[in-house]
Amino acid sequence: MLSNMIIFSGNANESLAKEICQHLNIKLGGALVETFSDRETKVKILENIRRKEVYIIQPTCRPVDHHFMELCIMIDACRRASAKEITAVVPYFGYARGDKKTEPRVPITAKLAMDLIVASGADRIITMDLHAVQIQGFTNKPVDNLFAEPVLIRYIKDNFPLENLGLASTDVGGASRTRSYAKRLNNIGIAIIDKRRPEDNKPEVMNVIGDVKGKTIIEVDDIIDTGGSLVNGAQALMEVGAKEVHAVCTHPVLSGPAIEMINKSVLQSLIVTNTIPLSAEAKACSKIKVVSVSSLIGEAIKCCYTGESVTSLFD
């Protein structure tokens, strides 16, 4: 049924690519993705892909620029090998936070990243929980923005009684995402953390809007990077009377002091997905649990290939 499909992986998250292949019951395509001695990327596709539908799995996570170049170079190699159609499957789209000019003389890096992927030869992009949904419009190619929500909601339903449970968005921008989660959880209440960021990577909590007293609160966010937003948010929630605080988050970027901060924090658990592989330090953190989005991405790839609706996966 999927005989004209071939999936390749860069080095960013091969285990996710293998899980996706397992879900689709196909073998991961053979490709050499290595570096020359000067660290330039070297790619060779090891099988015939003429007129095949190619899917390249590569989140652009750390080292971001290196993984980004691997993706672009793999797309270029596939285009020159006469693939019929090339889909860049970018479960975590790096540079997405640079989605607008917030001050004079700064780039819009998300637009540049999209331009480079398309210029390399991608015909379509599949991604997940884009930091800003308008990034879909940064190209005229089709972009399928998947949501980890069904997988994270399943975890919440399986592990937390809904009575006395509330959700909290770590900032005003994430409120609609948090509301969408709440809707699937019998419309439980939500709070919004009023956060400001005086400097990059230094979020400060100003206020908590909403009633969290005596409740178990789950913070909802798309990205955990340095951990400041979720950790400071958890502290603020406890200070205004929450009983305990947990968090769900799609992309575990976990850079800088993140793990140390999480370990020392009042946050009781952090549930993330495998869009980005965890470092050894993150794997050793007993508060972090990982749920897999491989079946969801696998189903979305199948829908794209067979022409079925991707939206139906989220109804």
Distance CA 212, CA 189 (A): 9
Cβ distance to ligand R5P smaller for residue 91 or 121? 91
Distance CA 264, CA 273 (A): 22
Cβ distance to ligand R5P smaller for residue 72 or 234? 234
CB 245 within 8 A of CB 266: yes
Cβ distance to ligand R5P smaller for residue 225 or 299? 225
Cβ distance to ligand R5P smaller for residue 4 or 201? 201
Which residues contact ligand R5P (rule: CB under 6 A)? 170-171, 173-174, 201, 203, 221-229
Cβ distance to ligand R5P smaller for residue 41 or 169? 169
Question: CB within 8 A of 46, min separation 6: which ones?
Answer: 29, 30, 31, 32
Joined together, the tokens standing for residue 12 give 């960013």
Q: Calculate the dihedral angle through the C-alpha atoms of 202, 100, 275, 33, rounding to the nearest 10 degrees.
A: -110
Helices and strands per DSSP (H, E), number in the chain: 9, 14
Cβ distance to ligand R5P smaller for residue 226 or 294? 226
In eight-state DSSP terms, residue 27 is P
Joined together, the tokens standing for residue 190 give 């939500």
Distance CA 24, CA 8 (A): 13
Side chain identity at 200, as an amino acid letter? D
Q: Which residue has the tokens 């000067």?
A: 38
Joined together, the tokens standing for residue 126 give 């599949």
CA distances from 106 to 78, 98, 99, 267 (A): 33, 9, 11, 35
Question: CB within 8 A of 199, min separation 6: which ones?
Answer: none
Catalytic residue among 195, 213, 215, 287: 195
User: Minimum distance from CB of 152 to ligand R5P (Å)?
Assistant: 15
User: Minimum distance from CB of 212 to ligand R5P (Å)?
Assistant: 18
Active site residue 195: yes
User: Minimum distance from CB of 103 to ligand R5P (Å)?
Assistant: 16
Distance CA 221, CA 258 (A): 15
Catalytic residue positions, numbered: 195
